[in-house]
Amino acid sequence: MADREPIYLDYNATTPVDPRVLEVMLPYFGERFGNAASRHHRAGREAAEAVERARRQVANLIGADPREIVWVSGATEADNLAIKGVAASPVATARGKHIVTVATEHRAVLDPCERLEGRGYPVTYLGVDGAGRLDLDELAGAITEQTFLVSVMHANNETGVIHPIGEIGAICRDKGALFHTDATQSAGKEPIDVEQRKIDLLSLSAHKLYGPKGVGALFIRRRRPRVRCEPLLDGGGHERGLRSGTLNVPGIVGLGAAVEICGEEMAVEQPRIRALRDRLEARLLAAVPEARVFGREAPRLANTSSLSFPGLDAEALIAAMPRIAISTASACTSAARQASYVLAALGASPEEVDGSIRISLGRLTRDADIDEATEQIVQASIALTT
């Protein structure tokens, strides 16, 4: 008998491409293969029109002007362009070179900040409380007359904890600093309006919201205030000089379709997913009372659960459940396994970090998946402790 399909519960790592998205993309791999920069003939114009349609779709999701959307390869590039590109602008840094960010940011934000720190840009790394929440008074106090940029993610990729980006945006605007948010995990799951929340730069990636890998977008505000950003890549002047290179037309078309579907289905999809997540957590905590859910006291993404089973090794737990696709709370870079700096920032002990897993649900998750995953996690945890 053939093996049953695995139960995929690692949507924060990547999502499957929605069949509706793939259907829209397919023609641009074949008969509509034009280069969007070649507008002097029909094939190029078709590609350019598809790119601009997708630009409008992404802009609509976040309440932006389509001219404020820049295509990139993904959220890592978007974060780098937002941070390094603004840091390289004499206009943006006229008031100073100070950056404020948070210790629990993704490495795509922390690494560029650390790179700039080595070049003489002072960086303040704010801490969080035991639930992963940011102290807004501390944030406001950290912004000085030298601060040109504040970078705070909308939702944490490990815990799902949501930061109040509207309040953060208001603080930054009042103090004259630009506000960048990495919305990789929240875009398509939580409502975002860059005008209402006073966001100046926003990063997102297609493969986190049922689009293809290898494409993303960066919102760069054009007015009130106009954000000045220098390109990371030179050669051709594509994307109004902000990101040179031939556009990934099929990927961009897929991103546009994906965000449109998310925008239409978010209000129904997220409550369903939240109910499944809450049921999973309730059952696991009832069966394993010593388990801990990180960030449970804070606003969280509907789909994310970061759990710790003290005394267990997370990798051994996952290995004991080959049909359940979940992740550990460790950041794996090259061949090295590193303890989660995010959970450490929440005050988790080394034992809690070692026993931590991240479960993230998505569009294809069903009741039966949660029932089986819960049963297997409980059985595996009992087997590993007896």
Residues known to be catalytic: 332
User: At 75, which helix (H) or strand (E)?
Assistant: helix 75-80
Q: Which residue has the tokens 């049921």?
A: 279
The rounded distance, in Å, linking the Cα atoms of 206 and 213 is: 6
**Gyration radius from the chain CA atoms:** 21
Among residues 329, 324, 270, 327, the alpha carbon closest in space to that of 294 is found at 329
240 DSSP 8-state letter: G
Measured torsion, CA atoms of residues 18, 20, 26, 28, in degrees rounded to the nearest 10: -100
Neighbour order of strands in the sheet with 356-360: 292-294, 304-308, 356-360, 327-328
The rounded distance, in Å, linking the Cα atoms of 166 and 44 is: 40
The separation between CA 56 and the C-alpha centre of its own chain, rounded to angstroms, equals 20
The rounded distance, in Å, linking the Cα atoms of 157 and 142 is: 24
Q: Can you read off the two tokens belonging to residue 128?
A: 């969080």
Among residues 308, 319, 333, 307, the alpha carbon closest in space to that of 376 is found at 319
- Name the packing angle between helices 249-287 and 42-62 (round to 10°): 30
Give me the count of residues in the chain.
Answer: 386
Give SS3 for 2.
coil
Output the CA–CA distances (angstroms, integers) from residue 239 to 174, 187, 217, in the order listed: 30, 22, 11
From the DSSP assignment, how many helices (H) and strands (E) are in the chain?
Answer: 12, 15
β partners of residue 98: 147
The rounded distance, in Å, linking the Cα atoms of 177 and 145 is: 8
